[in-house]
Structure formats: C-alpha cells, structure tokens
C-alpha cells in the first residue's frame, strides 16, 4: 500500500487530482482473536489513509479506506460456504467506484461494507476526567474512572490530532490555577 501510494503520489500532486481507496479490515478496526499481526497492519493502513487525506486536501486528492466483509480465501476458513458465496465483490465494487468518482468529496473516512450494507465509522471520545492537582496515583485515576469511560455526558467526536489539544490545555489551565492557589 505504502509503496504503490508513494509511486503514484507525485503524479497526483502534479495533476492536482487523485483518488485512493485503501483496504482495512474489521479485524483492524476492532481487533480479532488470533490475528494480532493482521489487525496491526490493517489499522496501520487506516492511519496511513487518514494522513494522506490530510496531505492531499489542498491538491484535490481524496483518500478513503474501506473495511469490507467479503467472501475470500481467508474468510472461507472461518465462515460457512453459503455466507462466503453471498458476500460477493459486487457489493463492494460500487462503493469503491463512488469513492473514486470525481464528484465524491468525502476524504479521510473509513467505511464498513458487507452484503450491500455500507456505513461510515467515526471516532467517539468520552468527555474524560482530570487527575486531581498533585495526585498522580493509580487510586486517583480509579476514583475518576467513571468520568473517563462515560459516553453519556456529551461525548466528543475528534477528527484530527488538533482535537486532542483543547482538553489537554484545559487540564493544564486547571493545574496552573491550582498551583497558584497553593502558593498563596
């Protein structure tokens, strides 16, 4: 994936146009027993795709990733034959064709596909918690763990690395205020 993209990228940049659809897997998105190496590689492809989408935005290069559930030699070892035969490439091809079409502006996304069903995935983050000033113990972490894992209280939907900064800088501001109070 990387070598092919690297070879094509300069031509796409020069033409100010390109479409790339990479293939990940549900094993990469969610993990799968006995497939640590495969899952790692497939999630890495998603990371590459999201990075290329950002780099290509200004040059009209659209990059997306699909995670198809399709009949293949690999899935034939873990699925009933009828299911493998039903999960035909004909269900995946139209999605790939659309993502490659000049009218498609969607970029940096991942789509699960199977048997005619298609869905975009997104990251969701809990609002989180902040360790008490001066207490970096595991017990302090345990005490706020409900906040760390609470998706009911206004979850966030980060889309880039810059979305990490607001909660982190917010925590730093709180720590600065607490440090100032402790000096009084």
Which candidate in 2, 30, 38, 98 is catalytic?
38
The span from the CA of 138 to the CA of 10, in Å, is 49
Q: By C-alpha distance, which of 63, 82, 73 is closest to 24?
A: 63
End-to-end CA distance of the chain: 58
Tokens of 93: 């091809």
DSSP string, 127-139: ----PPTT--SHH
Structure tokens at 51: 């990075």
Q: Is 105 helix (H, G, I), strand (E, B) or coil?
A: coil
Distance in angstroms (rounded) separating the CA atoms of residues 112 and 72? 16
CB 1 within 8 A of CB 48: yes
98 catalytic per annotation: no
Q: How many CB atoms lie within 10 A of CB 99?
A: 20
The CA distance from 3 to 9, in Å, is 10
* Catalytic sites, residue numbers: 38
């Amino acid at each position: 994936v990387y070598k092919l993209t690297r070879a094509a990228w300069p031509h796409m940049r020069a033409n100010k146009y390109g479409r790339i659809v990479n293939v990940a897997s549900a094993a990469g998105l969610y993990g799968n027993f006995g497939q640590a190496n495969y899952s790692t590689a497939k999630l890495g492809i998603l990371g590459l795709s999201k990075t290329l989408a950002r780099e290509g935005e200004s040059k009209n290069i659209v990059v997306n990733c699909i995670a198809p559930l399709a009949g293949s030699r690999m899935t034939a070892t873990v699925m009933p034959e009828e299911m493998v035969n039903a999960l035909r490439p004909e269900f995946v091809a139209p999605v790939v064709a659309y993502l490659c079409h000049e009218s498609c502006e969607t970029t940096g996304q991942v789509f699960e596909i199977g048997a005619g069903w298609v869905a975009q995935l997104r990251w969701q983050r809990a609002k989180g918690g902040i360790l008490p000033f001066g207490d970096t113990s595991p017990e302090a972490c345990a005490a706020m763990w409900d906040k760390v894992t609470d998706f009911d209280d206004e979850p966030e939907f980060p889309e880039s690395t810059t979305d990490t900064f607001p909660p982190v800088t917010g925590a730093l501001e709180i720590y600065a205020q607490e440090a100032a109070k402790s000096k009084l």
